[in-house]
Chain A
Amino acid sequence: MNLWKVAWRSIQHRSLASVLTAFSMSLGVALVVTVLVIYAVIDNAFQRSTQGYNLIVGPKGSKTDLVLSTAFYINSSDLETIPYGLYRDIYRKFPGEIDKAIPVALGEPYKGAPVVATKRDFFEELRYGDKKPYVFRYGENFAGSDYRGAVLGYNAARRLKLKVGEKISLLDGAENSENADDVFTVRGILRFSGTPNDQAVFINLEGFYEMNESRRNLIDRIRKGEKEDTPTEEQRTLSAILVLTKKKEVMPEIKMNASGDQPSELVVSESGMTSQVYNPSLEALPRLIEEDKEYHIQAVSPTAVVTTLFDKVIGNIRLVLVILACLVIVVAGIGMMVSIYNTMNERRHEIAIMRALGAKRRTVMMVILFESILLSLAGGVVGFVLGHSLIGILSPWISESLRVPVSAFQLQGIEVLLIPGLTLLASIVGYLPAVMAYRTDVAESL
């Protein structure tokens, strides 16, 4: 019979007190697990939103605003635009360095859903999460010639209660409107991706321009006999161009300075679509773009901006939450110490018996420490299950609120640290009762 079993028997003998002690510990662990998983979910949501492309090319100004508006569709209304011509020129201007460029123009939100005008390439070329392609749950991508085609993100379709084939009027805000100029037909609905795209309404870029022209009463010009055509390129603008660099090349990430507005250094990263081979010529691409004389533009690495933003804002929130959760665990640990300590008076006799049977002082001390560790680990296991169950129960609400998928078994690597962490805590809180056991006077206590 080893000392672990001796400790376990002792726990079993005081089953009610042991269960309550372990339960208090489990609540702390459950809280930590919940915080860690939710943080990881948010982190993942931020990161996966930017992984499909390496650079965002947009108007000069705040890099953070550009990334927030282009990748997350936040604060998009006040931004400057870039000419559509840049989209045509970008391959010529930076030959051999750009694999794919996807134009994006952000429109007025439709019933709270961001409206993103783009090309069908958006869904064919971009990847999210672990390089997953966008998949259509219902219907299909709009064709290039289908100017009035629209694609809905998963949540947008659910929230707006729209189905494939239904029409939406972006200017009227009405569904199934008869006015053809701003009416788009839902061609496809995306599967849930856990990215901001789930919330968005995507429309064909050509249709977007047509709609805007209509808004400017260009129809009058057509009635007057002027040539009916798509708007001129000078009138066309874009919010940004999403750039995928050539594969098998490593893009430098731009580390932001303290204000988050200016790059302070270039760091080689293997994130996003890029892979293993480092091509030093690409280090200069963002700088080349920014130094372009023809266009007043900048190139931003979304990963760098998001990392900076995440570290600055959410990183601190996580720190506070983790500290609070750890405090809960420490309080539970102190509760455990008090609980074991209170049993020590009645246990002096048992300890004296063990000593009389030949147990060394150190042996009885170890039994108490092992008891503390077993209680902590049992509480840890229960807390782990409790925390993940809680996440499972709350997952629909979390998914809806944070717009990311969450599952009960979304395990985080850092959770492995719970085992040594709890063992250490148990050793600390078990020390005082263990010392009491160590000091037990055998002859007096028998």
Chain B
Amino acid sequence: MLELKNLKKSYTEPDGGDLPILDIPSWELAEGEQVVVVGASGCGKTTLLHIIAGILRPTSGHVMIDGWDIPLLNEAERDQFRARRIGYVFQTFNLLPGFTAYENVLLGMTFAGHGRLDKNRARHLLERVGLGHRLHHKPGQLSVGEQQRVSVARALGNKPKLVLADEPTANVDVGNQQHVIDMLRETCEEEKVALILVTHSPDVAGQFQRVDKLSEVNLVVQRKQQETAQTAG
């Protein structure tokens, strides 16, 4: 379902030099598969998710999703692709404050284009994450756990093929963390949606069958680690 090939991403530093972030020769994810990606801060986890989502373009390489090479699409096509095929769960939830929980879910459907607005599905998803009684509450009226659940419902609104979750429990209180993870995994399973979950938490990572360390996937990180070891030696 998802295949990364020779994916490289680097930024230009103020002095004009290259700052490599990602160098992934190959990485794959099957349909409906759930994977946790772990790695230290700054190792490029969020950048990787942004590239897969089409928010960022890689410096080179391929990101194949269902046969589409995302970097080859123009920006409007990537936006449309993202709206229709990818759900995104953010660390800080990123709900729009002026909209109710229900409207936040509908909003993602709105941007996917005509015929995608499914009010029953929006309601159903919110009921599924236990917020059937909070449909018309705005984010400010919801707890952080509830906000993240709205975020999960919004990510699944357009029946995506892939959900990207960027440290979804980092801002959730301990009591709610497990609930969010369970709900995310269960709903993705029910909807047969692949899940890439980025986390720092070993507890969260330990619950997944597949755990990929970005340090093993990303050659940039490996090179940095080698350089650090040589300097120390």
Q: Does B25 contact A (CB under 8 A)?
A: no
Q: When the two chains form their complex, are residues B56 and A357 in contact, meaning their CB atoms are under 8 A apart? A: no
Name B's interface SS. helix
Of A55-63, A91-99, A359-367, the stretch lying at the interface with chain B is: A359-367
In Å, the complex CA distance between A17 and B109 comes to 29
Q: Does A227 contact B (CB under 8 A)?
A: no
Residues of B within 8 A of A6 (CB): 107, 110
Q: Does A446 contact B (CB under 8 A)?
A: yes
Q: Mark B67-79, 1 if CB is under 8 A from A, else 0.
A: 0000000011001
Interface residues on A, range: 20 to 34
Residues of A within 8 A of B98 (CB): 9-10, 12-14
Shortest Cβ gap from B173 to chain A (Å):
23
Name A's interface SS. helix
Shortest Cβ gap from A366 to chain B (Å):
12
Shortest Cβ gap from B130 to chain A (Å):
22
Of A64-72, A117-125, A305-313, A348-356, the stretch lying at the interface with chain B is: A348-356
Q: When the two chains form their complex, are residues A350 and B79 in contact, meaning their CB atoms are under 8 A apart? A: no
Q: When the two chains form their complex, are residues A356 and B88 in contact, meaning their CB atoms are under 8 A apart? A: yes
Interface size on B, residues (CB 8 A): 31
Q: When the two chains form their complex, are residues A2 and B82 in contact, meaning their CB atoms are under 8 A apart? A: no
Shortest Cβ gap from A31 to chain B (Å):
32
Shortest Cβ gap from B101 to chain A (Å):
13
Residue of A nearest to B90 (CB): A446
> Given A358-B82, A359-B111 in contact, is the A442-B55 Cβ separation under 8 Å?
yes
In Å, the complex CA distance between A14 and B106 comes to 21
Q: Does B80 contact A (CB under 8 A)?
A: yes
Q: Does A1 contact B (CB under 8 A)?
A: yes
Q: When the two chains form their complex, are residues A358 and B111 in contact, meaning their CB atoms are under 8 A apart? A: yes
Residues of A within 8 A of B47 (CB): 443
> Given A9-B103, A443-B55 in contact, is the A357-B111 Cβ separation under 8 Å?
yes
Residue of A nearest to B166 (CB): A446
Residues of A within 8 A of B109 (CB): 1
Q: When the two chains form their complex, are residues B103 and A358 in contact, meaning their CB atoms are under 8 A apart? A: no
Shortest Cβ gap from A45 to chain B (Å):
50
Residues of A within 8 A of B110 (CB): 1-3, 6
Q: Does B132 contact A (CB under 8 A)?
A: no
Residues of A within 8 A of B97 (CB): 13, 350
A409-443 residues with Cβ-Cβ distance < 8 A to B are 442-443
Q: When the two chains form their complex, are residues A443 and B106 in contact, meaning their CB atoms are under 8 A apart? A: no
Q: Does B40 contact A (CB under 8 A)?
A: no
Q: When the two chains form their complex, are residues B80 and A358 in contact, meaning their CB atoms are under 8 A apart? A: yes
Shortest Cβ gap from B57 to chain A (Å):
10
Q: Mark A341-382, 1 if CB is under 8 A from B, else 0.
A: 000000001100111111111110000000000000000000
Contact of A446 among B94, B108, B117 (CB under 8 A): B94
Residue of A nearest to B103 (CB): A1
Residues of A within 8 A of B96 (CB): 9, 350, 353-354
Contact of B50 among A354, A361, A443 (CB under 8 A): A443
Q: Does B2 contact A (CB under 8 A)?
A: no
Q: Mark A137-154, 1 if CB is under 8 A from B, else 0.
A: 000000000000000000
In Å, the complex CA distance between A248 and B56 comes to 79
Q: When the two chains form their complex, are residues B99 and A9 in contact, meaning their CB atoms are under 8 A apart? A: yes
25 A-B residue contacts at CB 8 Å? A1-B103, A1-B110, A2-B110, A6-B107, A6-B110, A13-B97, A350-B97, A354-B96, A355-B79, A356-B53, A356-B82, A356-B90, A356-B94, A357-B82, A357-B88, A357-B111, A358-B112, A358-B158, A359-B111, A360-B75, A360-B76, A360-B80, A360-B111, A363-B111, A442-B55
Chain A contacts to B: CB under 8 angstroms: 1-3, 6, 9-10, 12-14, 349-350, 353-363, 442-443, 446
Chain B contacts to A: CB under 8 angstroms: 47, 50, 53, 55-56, 75-76, 79-80, 82-84, 88, 90, 94-99, 103, 106-112, 117, 154, 158
Q: Closest 10 interchain pairs by CB?
A: A358-B83, A13-B98, A358-B111, A359-B111, A357-B108, A353-B94, A9-B98, A360-B79, A1-B106, A1-B110
Sample of 15 further A-B pairs with CB below 8 A, known A350-B97, A356-B53, A359-B111: A1-B110, A2-B110, A6-B110, A9-B103, A13-B98, A350-B96, A353-B95, A357-B83, A357-B107, A358-B108, A360-B75, A360-B79, A360-B80, A363-B111, A443-B50
